[in-house]
Amino acid sequence: MKGKIVYFLTIVICFLLQCTVMDLISIGSVTPNLMLVFCVSMGLMRGRKSGLWAGFFSGLFVDLFFGSVFGFYALIYMYIGYLSGYAHRIYYDDDVKVPMFLTAIADLLYNLSVYGLQFLLRGRLGLGTYLYRIIIPEMFYTVFITLIVYRIFRYINYHYMNITRKESESIWVLK
């Protein structure tokens, strides 16, 4: 129960930081995506199911406050969290290269899906401009923020959300 409360509070704090602090440190109207870093980190550290739920609730917050179509960002973040959970088996907690690489790929997929579903369907065909001015700078900025924030998420995961079973709750103990 304590782990779920910490999990939810981390999502709320990340959302509040995304809306306040990340807007203050934006460079050229490019803002790092802290919610995406959280989804990728939880999927990587805890697996597909945890990444899926982190993505769903993160996207739900974005949809509730900023989304024009309800469920759009929840679906995108949910897919990103779930897909990053596939790398859970190759996860090594001290290595920051895998989270940086996954964050770069996830940010690219996130921005391409937002472009495809929100701009391309409306007839705006400036992919080169969108790629050059929004997607690539945001990808690099989000990867840079991953270097800082990932260690905080790792600390929270291992000290507050780490699930350990008691011997009496084990599936191997006969009752």
- Residue 164's pLDDT is what? 52
Q: What confidence category does residue 169 fall into, taking pLDDT thresholds of 50, 70 and 90?
A: very low
- Which has more confidence, 16 or 1? 16
- Residue 168's pLDDT is what? 47
Task: Evaluate whether residue 173 is within a structural domain.
Answer: no
Q: Is 32 helix (H, G, I), strand (E, B) or coil?
A: coil
Task: Evaluate whether residue 10 is within a structural domain.
Answer: yes
CATH number of the domain that 152 lies in? 1.10.1760
pLDDT above 50 for 170: no
- Residue 123's pLDDT is what? 78
Number of helices (H) and strands (E) in the chain: give both, helices first: 8, 0
- Our count of domains for the chain comes to 1
Task: Evaluate whether residue 115 is within a structural domain.
Answer: yes
Task: Evaluate whether residue 167 is within a structural domain.
Answer: no
Task: Evaluate whether residue 18 is within a structural domain.
Answer: yes
Task: Evaluate whether residue 168 is within a structural domain.
Answer: no
Of 101, 116, 110, 61, nearest to 81 (Cα)?
A: 110
Mean pLDDT, residues 126-146: 92
Task: Evaluate whether residue 130 is within a structural domain.
Answer: yes
Average pLDDT across the chain, whole number: 88
Task: Evaluate whether residue 145 is within a structural domain.
Answer: yes
Q: By residue range, what is the domain housing residue 20? A: 2-161
